[in-house]
Structure 1
Amino acid sequence: MPVSIALRPQPLGVFPGIAGSLLLPPAPAGEEALAALMKGRLPERWPEAWQFFARAVGGYTEAAVLEAVPEGNEGIFNRAVLQPAPEVYTWARERLGGEYRLLLDAVAWRAGLRPEPPDVPPEVDGELRAFLLECRAHAALERGAREEGALALKAAAEAAEAVSPVLAARLLGEWAAVRHAAGDAGEEVIRGYRRALELLDGTGLAELRAELWFQLGAVYQSRGGEGGKGALLEAARCYQEALKVFRRDTYPEAYALTQMNLALVYLAMPQHDRSWPVRAAVAVQALREALRVFRRETHPEMWASATLNLANALQHLPSSHPEDNLWEAVALYEEVLAVRRPEDDPVGYARVLANQGNALAHLGALSQAESRLQEARRLFLEHGEAEAADAVDRVLAEIAQLRTAGDRAVGRVQSGGAS
């Protein structure tokens, strides 16, 4: 290939946003700054020629970044990245060749200016090869070729690992996420996430580490049935690692989602375990934390899910005042029912009714319990949920027994009074 990128390695894909697609030109005494960038850290002193990159990672507008772009091949390439228009792409392609043109065609595909990303020549290596393979992977995933896309992501990570561990870690995380989305929660996927986390040791990308811990926690959580308590405990540890970075004031939505998942992990653990009371209490607190972010007005679906999970947790929370917890659960179910419509999700609506009816039955509010349970039973039967209807029937039978026992007790009292 006649024209090679002048500076290697390049921090391609190390930083999020537009910075992940920009090329750095050679700069005097830039070795120390480049070493920091490759680890996801910002250098203490920026070379003058890299001020445009400093602006890009600093969140400046694309126009402000463009103002600082120097001339040269990298400048031509970066102008095309920052101005993704057909005429700019054509202008840049006429002036660039070799590896520059390959990368240009790749970012043009990302911008929708080409129907396909370029092929990857065998002589292209390292982070450049990884960047091009990643584009091929995303193109395959977009057309539904999941296996092809996963293989390309794995190959991209392998190409990057020796020269750009941060890029390799991100690509491994993407590969594992694709596999997990396809239903694979096996050991290979777990090893992929673990290796990605190892590659991030000593880097400054705390947010990426937290995202990987969260995703690994989701893998372990999905293995709960197969892996039992051990998998759930690993999931909890992963979520706790993520929460070291995901704080409510800095990453509110990620914080709330991680808290909710952590709660669900604890609630899925066996209730006969000696540590169950502590875990149930932690789960309730985690759901309350999630609801400090997920409000009905701003996150209606997540709010409903967290509220419903909190109500379910309160029903089973060991407590010296269970009635208070049950009444709170009843009120929370009512809040969810107020915003959900049976015509949108009749089975889900019925489950809320059934849970609320169960709580009311435990409180002795038998008439209210019966009305909700009867409506839940009707919806379950209408939509082929026979097992759920049978479970409701068992609760209704218990209520009938309580009524019969109560009537007999009243009869005995009346008989005694008459004598």
Structure 2
Amino acid sequence: MQTAAEIQFAEAIRAVEDPATSPEERAEMLMEIAMGLQIKPKSPAQLRDAVTLYQRALAELPESAILLKARIRARMGTALQTIPDGGTDALRQACECYESVLPILYQQGKPEEAAEVELNLGLATQGLASQGAARIQDAIQCHHRALRVFTKEAYPQEFAVLHNNLAIAYLSIPVTDERGKMREAMAVQSFEEVLKVINLIDHPSEYAMIQNNLGNALQYASSSHALENNLRALEAYDEALKVRNPRDTPVEYANTIANKANVLRNLPADTKTGVGQSVREQAVELYREAIALFEQFGLHDRSELLSASIAEIEQEHEHSGEGKVIH
């Protein structure tokens, strides 16, 4: 029995065979159906079907339909980019789509169209860079070009996405010199820029994600102000925990409390956090809570890392003559 998606795909192919419609109408119909397949796809096959429909739409059009071809090829790039098992090949094909249409969109399209393609090209390039198949600096340049259009005032959502992407890109570059420290500072600044346009009430999940990421950026920054950064990181994690909880978002909650525990274990032993426990005791307590949640969801690698952290804390205490941390 055919699924609804398979029926929709077959109907799209039949529709383009109607001689009463023009090539442009057939192409636009195929593009719209393909875009529909991309909304909450139930399998990678639906995204591959969308790519097939975009290719069929392009084949329908005469060479003179330059702008429409560019728009369809840009949409095809988004389908390729989101195929979960597509690997580097799909990402490379997506980048080729984006790069081929950018000159046309800059010349004939709307500024927002070109900026959206720059954003997607930046994301696809970041994906390739994480696999050693592209330069992260090229992704950063794409995001900055998109920010010329997607300003904080006019396009707050896109502005936030771009700054989040930029921060992640900055942090992915190894810190090997003074410029590395500057990139870390720029990552923190980008996360803070995002927090100017999203808030706890209207965008709770995004707010929690950015606060968590900000905490990580502050915690691992190679700065001479380590204590100040760590205390700021604790504040960021506590903000994230206003949204993340063990009932509604258990894995995200576990990630954040584990990150918070990492900060606590690295604070000076006499640091006051207003909880009534030593920072080491607080860290162990949070680690144990996170381990229980990771085990519950089968994330054994993460729980093993945290168990090793607890063992290290207890070993440090034994060597210092303080005995084991209270469980």
| TM-score interval, normalised by the smaller of the two chains | 0.7 to 0.9
- What letter matches 2:96 in structure 1? R
Give the corresponding residue for 1:127.
24
Q: Which residue of 2 aligns with 1:331?
A: 235
1:157 pairs, out of 54, 58, 69, with 58
Q: Output the CA distance in 2 between the equivalents of 1:181 and 1:401.
A: 45
C-alpha distance in 1 between matches for 2:192 and 2:233: 13
Secondary structure of the structure 1 residue equivalent to 2:132: helix
Pair 1:156–1:250, CA change in 2 (3 A): same
Partner of 2:275: none
**1:148-181 C-alpha deviation (Å, 9 max, x unpaired):** 4322212323544733322222111111111112
| 1:180–1:210 CA distance, 2 compared to 1 (3 A) | same
Matched, 1:172 2:38: no
Give CA deviations for 1:190-216 in whole Å, capped at 9, x if unaligned: 111111112213225100001011111
Gaps of 5+ in 1: 1-114, 409-419
User: TM-score if structure 1 supplies the norm length?
Assistant: 0.64
Counting aligned pairs with the same residue, the percent is 30
Within the candidate set 290, 293, 298, 1:379 is matched to 293
Q: 1:362 and 1:145, CA in 2 relative to 1: closer, same or farther beyond 3 A?
A: closer
Residue-pair matches, total: 294
Alpha-carbon separation, structure 2, partners of 1:197 and 1:169? 8
Partner Cα distance (2:254, 2:19) in 1: 58
Q: Does the 8 Å contact 1:158/1:168 carry over to 2?
A: no
TM-superposed CA distance for 1:272, in Å, is: 4.1
TM-score of the superposed pair, with normalisation by structure 2:
0.80
Could you list the per-position Cα deviations for residues 228-248 of structure 1 after superposition, in whole angstroms to 9, with x for gaps in the alignment? 6x4322221211111111100
**Structure 1 pair 393–141 and aligned structure 2 pair: CA distance change class (3 A):** closer
Partner residue in 2 for 1:313? 217
Equivalent position to 1:361, from 260, 265, 272: 265
From 279, 294, 304, the equivalent of 2:198 is 294
Matched, 1:240 2:144: yes
- Larger Rg: 1 or 2? 1
Residue identity matched to 2:207: W
Q: State which of 214, 223, 226 in structure 1 corresponds to 2:131.
A: 226
SS at the partner of 2:292? helix
1:341·1:349 contact (CA, 8 Å) conserved in 2?
yes
Alignment-derived partner of residue 93 in structure 2: 188
* Cα distance in 2 for residues equivalent to 1:262 and 1:223: 15
Q: Residues 156 and 171 of structure 1 are in contact (CA less than 8 Å); yes or no, is this contact kept in structure 2?
A: yes
What residue in structure 2 maps to residue 402 of structure 1? 316
Residue identity opposite 1:127 in structure 2: E
Deviates more, 1:377-386 or 1:321-330: 377-386
The aligned residue for residue 265 of structure 1 is: 169
Q: CA deviation at 1:139?
A: 6.8
Are residues 1:392 and 2:293 paired? no
Return the alpha-carbon distance in structure 2 between the equivalents of residues 374 and 403 of structure 1: 17
- 1:282 corresponds, among 186, 202, 207, to 186
Q: Which runs of 5+ in 2 are unaligned?
A: 1-10, 269-278, 323-327
One-letter amino acid matched to 1:235: A
Deviation at 1:293, TM superposition (A): 0.6
